[in-house]
Amino acid sequence: MISTFLVAFLLPLTGSGPEDRPPKKGWDSARFVKPADAELRARLSAIQYDVTQHEGTEPAFRNEYWDNHKPGLYVDVVSGEPLFSSLDKYDSGTGWPSFTRPLEPGNIKTKTDRRLFAARTEVRSAHADSHLGHVFDDGPQPTGLRYCMNSAALRFIPVDRLEAEGYGKYVPLFEKNKSGAK
């Protein structure tokens, strides 16, 4: 109990909270350590915390990215691990951002979710273990999958910010798409 008090109330006073750290650029799985719960509560909005840490779901059609059509990457809001590309995003009509496949399959994991009295496949980030959403087999080709994600679990990085934010290795994906190739 005392250690929880120390983390939640005294840590911010020591100058070692998230706001005192330089922003992390890009994604490096070797460097990532999931922040303590108190830090996540301080850093994330209430909906981001509920979705990522307690398998919450945000409202359909009232979330940040369901209708985003800009080119770029979607990364885990907790870790920054790259998850999805706008090149694989489509309008599923559900009111949540939907993708046909993950950008980096090693950055997601799935498990069976039986919370709504039916088996669904939950999608989580591999390194931060954030709840992202669910995957269904009713998506378009080429995969036939619909990765239905919560915007609150994601952070969008537009193409023109990829290099500056440490995700420059993904820029060529979008350059190929401009020329008509994939």
Largest CA distance in the chain: 59
Catalytic residue among 40, 103, 128, 148: 148
131 flagged as catalytic: no
Residues paired with residue 122 on neighbouring β-strands, in sequence order? 111, 134
Which residues, other chains included, contact 51 with Cβ-Cβ below 8 Å and sequence gap of 6+? 57, 58, 131, 150, 152, 153
177 burial type by CB count under 10 A (0-12 exposed, 13-18 middle, 19+ buried): middle
How far apart CA 84 and CA 145 sit, in angstroms, is 13
User: Using an 8 Å Cβ cutoff, are 29 and 76 in contact?
Assistant: no
Four-residue CA torsion sign, 134, 110, 54, 101: negative
Instruction: Please identify every residue annotated as catalytic.
Output: 148
